[in-house]
Amino acid sequence: MHIPDGLIPYWQAGIYYLIAIVFWAISFKKVSEELSEKQIPLLGILAAGLFAAQYVNYPIPGGTSGHLVGAALAAAFVGPYGAIVAITIVLIIQSTYGDGGITTLGVNTLNMGIVAGFIGYYLYVWLKQVLSRRENAEAIAIGIAGWVSIVIASFICALELAAGGVVPLKTAVIAMVGWHAIIGIGEAVISAAVLIYVKSTAPDLLELPKIGPEKPILGVS
């Protein structure tokens, strides 16, 4: 889902940069203020792990491939602002590999960090409450949240491609959402597997404070 340099008009990339700058300012400030000593290595491991997971693509039927985005998973550990920071670090390093881009760092952060991070986090927290009586409620919640976060991020990406005149709107939405609905299954499985593993080996990592907006969103905090 990494939009490369030069695909969308620069003026449009600039608008997405402005949106991203607002979230970067809030996220980096909140994270630097609220990140605990134990969460510093956790953030580092999340960023390093997401980089590795995004480096290797898994095959998808139909001649395409996908990789973990991991914003929902990162948010489950460090909250949505922490996820934005982790994804931003990954995107910056990836741009030095020619993956994604410099001019599109803003739009890629918007899609994979802000949209996927916030939707993934709040859906995960809400589902965890709803499914609290079920065994492995957290794993089911992160699986669903991961899938939904990818599909919605791909929908936003399709709107951006259409707004930039790259692909017609209907085609962009059908293709992007269609492919990512399949790719998102991998996101769901990997996210759930990681959460199950962490819960069985180091459950305290899931109980650390989450860094997000102070006020609840739609009753979920």
Q: How far is the CB of 126 from other proteins (least distance, A)?
A: 26
Evaluate the CA torsion angle 197, 199, 201, 204 in order and state its sign. positive
For residue 167, give Cα distances in angstroms to 34, 57, 156, 171.
42, 24, 13, 7
* Residue 5 interacts with other proteins (CB under 8 A): yes or no: yes
Cβ proximity to other proteins: between 127 and 151 the closer is 151
* Residue 29 interacts with other proteins (CB under 8 A): yes or no: no
Cβ proximity to other proteins: between 41 and 219 the closer is 41
Which of 19, 92, 208, 217 is in the footprint of other proteins by CB under 8 A?
92
Q: Which helix (H) or strand (E) holds 64?
A: strand 64-66
What CA–CA distance (Å, rounded) separates 208 from 124? 15
Q: What are phi and psi of 65, to 5 degrees?
A: -150, 165
Is the distance from CB of 1 to CB of 153 less than 8 angstroms?
A: yes
What CA–CA distance (Å, rounded) separates 22 from 5? 21
Range 117-146, binding other proteins (CB under 8 A) = none
Which of 53, 83, 107, 152 is in the footprint of other proteins by CB under 8 A?
53
* Residue 32 interacts with other proteins (CB under 8 A): yes or no: yes
For residue 20, give Cα distances in angstroms to 106, 167, 183.
5, 23, 25
* Residue 41 interacts with other proteins (CB under 8 A): yes or no: yes
**Region from 18-26, 43-51, 123-131, 137-145 binding other proteins, contact rule CB under 8 A:** 43-51
* Residue 107 interacts with other proteins (CB under 8 A): yes or no: no
**For other proteins, how many residues bind (rule: CB under 8 A)?**
66
Question: Strand 58-60 vs strand 64-66: parallel, antiparallel, or unpaired?
Answer: antiparallel
Which of 11, 37, 218, 219 is in the footprint of other proteins by CB under 8 A?
37
Which of 179, 189, 199, 208 is in the footprint of other proteins by CB under 8 A?
179
What CA–CA distance (Å, rounded) separates 142 from 122? 10
Q: How far is the CB of 121 from other proteins (least distance, A)?
A: 18
For residue 8, give Cα distances in angstroms to 56, 150, 211.
25, 20, 32
Interface residues with other proteins (CB under 8 A) are 1-7, 31-32, 35, 37, 40-53, 55-60, 62-67, 85-86, 89-90, 92-98, 101-103, 154, 157-158, 161, 166-168, 171-172, 175-176, 179-180, 183, 202
